[in-house]
Chain A
Amino acid sequence: GAVVSQHPSRVICKSGTSVKIECRSLDFQATTMFWYRQFPKQSLMLMATSNEGSKATYEQGVEKDKFLINHASLTLSTLTVTSAHPEDSSFYICSARRQYTGELFFGEGSRLTVL
């Protein structure tokens, strides 16, 4: 299957700092990338959808100034959690939709802990 690389897999930071998470499709071009957040023992909650070269579309209740998404190319999207607080601690997962086939592939997730 296609590979989506997500980095870092774990990050611990102090409250008030910003954290950037990268999502790369390694062997295919992704027209659309999605960012999800997952709380323990719960399903994935969609945060935002981004198309290459355009602004991300955020889900209701997700602060766009808090969670900055950049989709600079057909293979890279980044999520920056700005001025992180302990309540931002969570498991963040990206996915990339393969161009032409529509298959959706996921990264391994990034566990963020804000102290």
Chain B
Amino acid sequence: SQQGEEDPQALSIQEGENATMNCSYKTSINNLQWYRQNSGRGLVHLILIRSNEREKHSGRLRVTLDTSKKSSSLLITASRAADTASYFCAPALDSGGYQKVTFGTGTKLQVIP
């Protein structure tokens, strides 16, 4: 299975600042997804980046992927209090069959108003 490990475990910033969190993984992938989880809720899919992509944007989100370093980063620009949540990455290798997806401990982001 694939599992990403997020870093840092916790991050506290002021509203308006940028937040950067990182994900490292150990084996080959063909895509990596980022998720957000608010307390007591399910995970919200944020963005998927494929292994042949180096950077992807979606609104205030910017994701990078470096397959040579087996790492990805998620940047949230101009953070808002509503961005307070835990963030998880999910690297995956879809090889025509299925592969289980497991999660690390996530990065707990607190955005202070």
Contact = CB atoms under 8 A, between A and B. Distances in A.
Interface in A1-40: 1-2, 4, 6, 31-32, 34, 36
Name the prevailing secondary structure of the A interface residues.
strand
A114 interface: no
A1 B46 CA distance: 9
A7 to B, nearest CB: 12
Contacts of A36: 103
A108 B103 contact: no
* Range, interface on chain A: 20 to 34
Interface string B1-23: 10000000000000000000000
A4 B48 CA distance: 17
B88 A109 contact: no
Given A43-B105, A103-B33, A103-B48, A109 B40 contact: yes
Contact residue range for chain B? 20 to 34
B101 A104 contact: yes
A34 B40 contact: no
B94 interface: yes
Contact of A49 (B90, B92, B94, B98): B98
A110 to B, nearest CB: 9
Interface in A92-114: 93, 95, 97, 101-109, 111
Contacts of B40: 91, 109, 111
Contact of A95 (B43, B105, B106): B43
A51 B98 contact: yes
A102 B104 contact: no
Given A44-B88, A46-B1, A103-B45, 19 more contacts: A1-B44, A1-B45, A34-B101, A44-B103, A46-B100, A46-B102, A49-B98, A93-B43, A95-B101, A97-B98, A102-B30, A102-B31, A103-B48, A104-B45, A104-B92, A105-B45, A106-B44, A109-B41, A109-B42
23 contacts: A1-B44, A1-B45, A32-B98, A34-B100, A34-B101, A36-B103, A42-B105, A43-B105, A43-B106, A44-B102, A49-B98, A49-B100, A102-B92, A103-B48, A104-B45, A104-B90, A104-B92, A105-B45, A106-B35, A106-B44, A106-B45, A107-B42, A109-B42
